[in-house]
């Protein structure tokens, strides 16, 4: 949950870098919350609430994806390339600093 809240705190930050763990933990927790929210809202007859959650989480999700691309020394625009962005998101980030910022693995959690 730490990484999920870390992404939400940096919701409109498109600069810097995001570790693989930060990105994938956000994706996992977001998928679980989306599923549960969609299921509960669907059962209650208010699917609009699940759509609202998806809309609210869109900007933080784009932000962490852009920062993940920066970690592998790619522009944030690479998230628009369907399969290649997944390959980049799986790759290990650059060791040390790159043009997008300091190595996030060197930061303490």
Question: Is the Cβ–Cβ distance between 12 and 59 less than 8 Å?
Answer: yes
Is 3 within the bounds of a domain? no
Is 7 within the bounds of a domain? no
Q: Quote the CA–CA distance of 41 and 58 in Å, as a whole number.
A: 19
Give the model's pLDDT for residue 11. Answer: 85
Is 103 within the bounds of a domain? no
Question: Is the Cβ–Cβ distance between 21 and 2 less than 8 Å?
Answer: no
Tell me the pTM.
Answer: 0.90
Is 101 within the bounds of a domain? no
Is 57 within the bounds of a domain? yes
Number of domains composing the chain: 1
What is the extent of the structural domain holding 33? Answer: 19-92
Give the model's pLDDT for residue 106. Answer: 81
Question: Is the Cβ–Cβ distance between 37 and 53 less than 8 Å?
Answer: yes
Is 81 within the bounds of a domain? yes
Q: Quote the CA–CA distance of 46 and 40 in Å, as a whole number.
A: 9
Give the model's pLDDT for residue 108. Answer: 56
3-state secondary structure of 98: strand
Is 80 within the bounds of a domain? yes
Is 5 within the bounds of a domain? no
**Which segments within 1-109 are labelled E, that is strand?**
none
Q: The tokens of 28 are what?
A: 């996992």
Render each residue's pLDDT in the chain as its tens digit; 109 residues.
Answer: 899 999 999 888 899 999 999 999 999 999 999 999 999 999 999 989 999 999 999 999 999 999 999 999 999 999 999 999 999 999 999 999 999 999 988 865 5
């Amino acid at each position: 949950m730490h990484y999920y809240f870390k992404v939400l705190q940096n919701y409109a930050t498109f600069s810097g870098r995001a570790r693989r763990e930060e990105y994938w933990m956000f994706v996992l927790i977001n998928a679980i919350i989306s599923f549960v929210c969609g299921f509960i809202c669907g059962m209650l007859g208010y699917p609009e609430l699940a759509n609202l959650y998806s809309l609210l989480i869109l900007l933080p999700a784009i932000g962490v994806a852009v920062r993940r691309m920066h970690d592998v020394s790619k522009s944030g625009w690479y998230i628009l390339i369907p399969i290649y962005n997944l390959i980049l998101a799986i790759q290990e980030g650059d060791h040390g600093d790159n043009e997008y910022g300091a190595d996030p693995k060197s930061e303490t959690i």
